[in-house]
Structure 1
Amino acid sequence: MGNGVQMAALTSAQAAGKRRGMPLAFVIARYFVYSFVAVGITWVAAFMLLSSAINTGYVVEASWGPANARAVATELMDADSLEPVDIPTSYRYLIVDASGRTVATDLEGAQLGHAAEAADAALGAQSEDIAIEGGGGGLTFASFSVTRGGACVLVSEYLPQWASRDLAETLPNPQNIMFVIGIAGSALALALVAHRASRVISRKMRPLADAAVRIGQEELDFPVGRTNVREVNDILAAMDAMRSSLAESLDARWQAERAQREQMASLAHDLKTPLTVLRANADFVAEELECDEAPCEGDRGDIAAAARDIAVSAERLDGYVRLLIEASHGAGSAAKAPVSPAELCRHVVLEAEPVARARGIELTSSIQPDVAGAPDALLDRTMLARAVSNLVSNAVEHARSRVEISCMLDDGSLVIEVGDDGAGFSPAALEHGCERLFTDDSSRSTTGGERHYGLGLFGAAEAARAHGGSITLANRIDAHGAVLGATATMRLPLSA
């Protein structure tokens, strides 16, 4: 896919994501609301717990001490004996004797100093007087003289207090407990909301994490998931475009590597043909030279022809080796250029002659006159020559005595037909003979016991397909149904 197509796919995917799902800001705001509500509920619960303790009598409300200071002072003023246990828990106190010496107190610091001044004033006042004054910071001081001598100062603070002195001495102030419960409950509520938010966000991000893991493992054939969050969908759409682009890139790389391997295998296979010619002609020359008799004029001609075939085959072998080296370096060897169909046909016939002579097979060829008048076409001459050479080698190996090459034009295509008088193709070969690595053709036994690798016809078919053409396999049948031989036909469109 080109960059324009990739960008179009990405834009389309992002637009689709924006049309569906809620904004991420809404998801975050929702959990902020949850947090505020949870904290509010926690503090309401703490306040209600304090109110319940007040209603059941375990706690005295905050206003009780200041509001009832005069009544409590009046009651304590006439007591036979004034002890700390007689003073309600809503008050802190200072009790002094007639000389002003401290008898009992739970005050300290500035409060104690203020209470001592109030006690001195109460000792010098009328016995029935009760002085109530504010001490700042929500404190109320009620000072009075005691009938049996001495004075007392009650200090009340605008705070709820425990009704039981035992609880007051062992537990913190009820309001402080309420604050602790509120703070701890708020922290717990926020932790629960955060845990819930993390699970939800993790679930919404899971398609993104899954896609990243699968792409990292080069597993690219899968649909990228979607969520109900727009921004996450935008990222998923971008990742899906990246996955598609990466899949196409890797597929192109794998295809290129496969094509390189197949090209090298085909070139290595094609080395067999010139090597066969070299070996056969070298053997022939060696036998002639080892003969005791001097070669006659005809034998000299045969030796010269064999030498020429050796030279031509060596040149072809050198070309194949160069192509093999280029293929191993990843360089493309296919190069189409204007080629005359007639020149191509003559070239393949010339290359076929040494192959047939090396096997002792008669080669006949025919190039119809209309081929000579065909205009040049964009063809890869080297590739097509190798392809036809594979067809010829296959025919020569299975022929009994004769191979034919015919070139003609048919409906704007160049048709090169290679036939032999061998046993013909088996039904399996007629259907699968041009497939890679197919070797199961029992009807066409090889000569010389050579091993086949299923690459010759496949390479020829690939060359034809690279030019928009094809190769068909068929058997020649006589009137009685007997197989006269096999035919491989290459059809190459000249207008492509």
Structure 2
Amino acid sequence: MAALTRRAKGVPLSLLIAKYFAYAFVLICAVWAASFTALSASMNAGAVYPANWGAAHAGETAKALQGEGPLDPQSIPTAYRYALFAAGGELLAADMDGAMLERARELAADGEAAAETEVTGSAGATYASFGLSDGTFCVLGSDYMPQFASPSLRDSLPNPQNIMLAAGALGSLAAVALVARRAGRSISRKMAPLTDAAERVSRQDLDFSVEPGGVREVNEVLSAMDGMRSSLKESLEARWDAERRQRDQVAALAHDLKTPLTVMRANADYIAEEASSLASGGLGDISGAAADIAAAAERLDSYVGLLIGVSNGGAAPSEGRRSDAGEVAAAVEADARALAHAEGVALSVSGAEGLDGLEVPGDACEISRAAMNVVSNAVEHASERVSVSLRAEGGILEIEVADDGSGFSPEALERGCERFFQGDPSRAGAHHGLGLYAASEVVQRCGGEIGLSNDLARDGAVQGARVILSIPLAFSPNS
């Protein structure tokens, strides 16, 4: 990491790019130099006439041809094109064409017998016109261009200058392609640590050290990526560890509940059986209490089964179901009264009778269990009384639970529904921070929400806590 943070480490990217530009420039210069050298060597060897050879030797060539008698085209140097005319101006033979042939016709029409040189336009051309001993008239034309000395090469290949230009252009392209390929490979190798680090981070493989590259800017990016990797590794490891501990705690809770439930159910059944056989009327309460214990044990046993399923990755049982709101209200009222009676807390329930015919999304048992988690918290923290209010307004079923306890702390108002949140660390031995979280999860699966608040006195003092479960109705006769 320290090596990566030193700016002096590595070559600047601009210098690396400039190096390959220099390579390309040198190679292009070498290609053109080789092309010019090859053309110059051909001229020195006599294989190619220089561009000015035709103009420089026009008179000399004309005199030589005049002394030979009838014109022999094979004796004309390849630097020239010729046209042979009869005395009356009729064209007898020619290997020139286009503008050059038209100019030759003009010269033949003038009937001049001496050599004449003319330069036309920017594309200079030299013409030599002369009469022959057989009465014919010849015109030689030469462009200011190099030309092959061999007639067969002249007639089958492009002009030597064009060949040189084409060779230089193709060689330049090849040089650029070669340098670009080499530069691409070199930069790819220098970028390899960055690519490797990005791929390993994308696979969440964070247990590695970033190796520096040879380019300063790449090293700076690698330094930032190494810092990101370290932070991400710490964050993910902390999250994975927290999730593992939470899963272990849920599984442990589910397992540990089995033993006391077995004992509770066996003893409750025994008490109920023995108490019901006695004639004393005072034992009726014992029998009822024992029946409540047995019923509660049965419910807890089913809860443990659900808890085990969820801890093992099982799906929630409420998906796609609808439940009668009246059934939910009746279950909440019965369970709340039993719990409040057992804890010695005064309980008032309102609105449970007016919800028949309404339906809510989700499982009735699951929704009532969510409500009882809230009621259990209220009973536990209440000073003397708890109130439960159920109502359906505006297409929403609201289950409101209030107590006269110390209320929620500011942190609990914000985080009370988080998993394993415990507002008072001193009570961690008795509570596991699952109640409001479980209620919130159930309500959210039903498309609803949960709200936490405190009841305040006129002087602003907290005089109790209030929790409202809001669940949208799936069916209402008035909808």
TM over 0.5: yes
Structure 2 residue runs of 5 or longer lacking an equivalent are: 308-368, 375-415, 433-479
Q: 2:87 aligns with which of 98, 104, 107?
A: 98
Return the offset for 1:253.
2.0
Per-residue CA shift, 1:173-221, capped at 9, x if unaligned? Answer: 1111112211221121111111111111211222222222222222111
Return the offset for 1:287.
6.7
Return the offset for 1:88.
0.5
Alignment of 1:39-58 (within 5 A): 39-58=28-47
Structure 1 residue runs of 5 or longer lacking an equivalent are: 1-11, 339-377, 385-496
Residue identity opposite 1:174 in structure 2 = P
Residue identity opposite 2:420 in structure 1 = S
Conserved 8 A contact 1:278-1:309: no
Tell me if 1:204 matches 2:193.
Answer: no
Distance change >3 Å, CA 333–CA 308, structure 1 → 2 = farther
Aligned twin of 2:97: 108
**The residue matched to 2:152 in structure 1 has which SS?**
helix
Tell me if 1:189 matches 2:175.
Answer: yes
Aligned twin of 1:453: none
Query: How far apart are the structure 1 equivalents of 2:57 and 2:421?
Result: 110
Residue identity opposite 1:118 in structure 2 = L
Return the offset for 1:239.
2.3
Return the offset for 1:379.
5.3
Distance change >3 Å, CA 180–CA 286, structure 1 → 2 = same
Return the offset for 1:335.
2.6
Query: How far apart are the structure 2 equivalents of 1:97 and 1:260?
Result: 114
Distance change >3 Å, CA 288–CA 131, structure 1 → 2 = closer
Per-residue CA shift, 1:406-429, capped at 9, x if unaligned? Answer: xxxxxxxxxxxxxxxxxxxxxxxx
Q: 2:241 aligns with which of 243, 246, 255?
A: 255
Distance change >3 Å, CA 180–CA 334, structure 1 → 2 = closer
Conserved 8 A contact 1:224-1:236: yes
Return the offset for 1:87.
0.8
Conserved 8 A contact 1:115-1:153: yes
Residue identity opposite 1:337 in structure 2 = D
Conserved 8 A contact 1:39-1:185: yes
Tell me if 1:231 matches 2:318.
Answer: no
CA RMSD between the two structures:
4.1
Aligned twin of 2:424: 337
Q: 1:162 aligns with which of 148, 155, 164?
A: 148
Query: How far apart are the structure 2 equivalents of 1:156 and 1:307?
Result: 128
Alignment of 1:344-363 (within 5 A): none
Q: TM-score, normalised by structure 2?
A: 0.59
Aligned twin of 1:271: 257
Tell me if 1:69 matches 2:58.
Answer: yes
Residue identity opposite 2:73 in structure 1 = P
Query: How far apart are the structure 2 equivalents of 1:330 and 1:105?
Result: 105
Residue identity opposite 2:254 in structure 1 = A
Query: How far apart are the structure 1 equivalents of 2:59 and 2:45?
Result: 25
Query: How far apart are the structure 1 equivalents of 2:117 and 2:213?
Result: 69
**The residue matched to 2:92 in structure 1 has which SS?**
strand
Return the offset for 1:334.
5.3
Alignment of 1:304-323 (within 5 A): none
How many pairs align? Answer: 327
Residue identity opposite 2:51 in structure 1 = A
Identity over aligned pairs, percent: 49
Aligned twin of 2:115: 130
Tell me if 1:151 matches 2:137.
Answer: yes
Return the offset for 1:289.
4.4
Residue identity opposite 1:135 in structure 2 = T
**The residue matched to 1:154 in structure 2 has which SS?**
strand
Query: How far apart are the structure 1 equivalents of 2:141 and 2:117?
Result: 10
Aligned twin of 1:380: 428
Distance change >3 Å, CA 264–CA 124, structure 1 → 2 = closer
**The residue matched to 1:144 in structure 2 has which SS?**
strand
Distance change >3 Å, CA 309–CA 133, structure 1 → 2 = closer
Residue identity opposite 2:119 in structure 1 = G
Distance change >3 Å, CA 124–CA 155, structure 1 → 2 = closer
Query: How far apart are the structure 2 equivalents of 1:259 and 1:211?
Result: 30
Residue identity opposite 2:195 in structure 1 = A
**The residue matched to 2:166 in structure 1 has which SS?**
helix
Conserved 8 A contact 1:84-1:104: no
Q: TM-score, normalised by structure 1?
A: 0.57
Residue identity opposite 1:331 in structure 2 = E
Query: How far apart are the structure 2 equivalents of 1:116 and 1:62?
Result: 24
Query: How far apart are the structure 1 equivalents of 2:250 and 2:417?
Result: 10
Return the offset for 1:163.
0.9
**The residue matched to 1:335 in structure 2 has which SS?**
coil
Conserved 8 A contact 1:22-1:230: yes
**The residue matched to 1:19 in structure 2 has which SS?**
coil
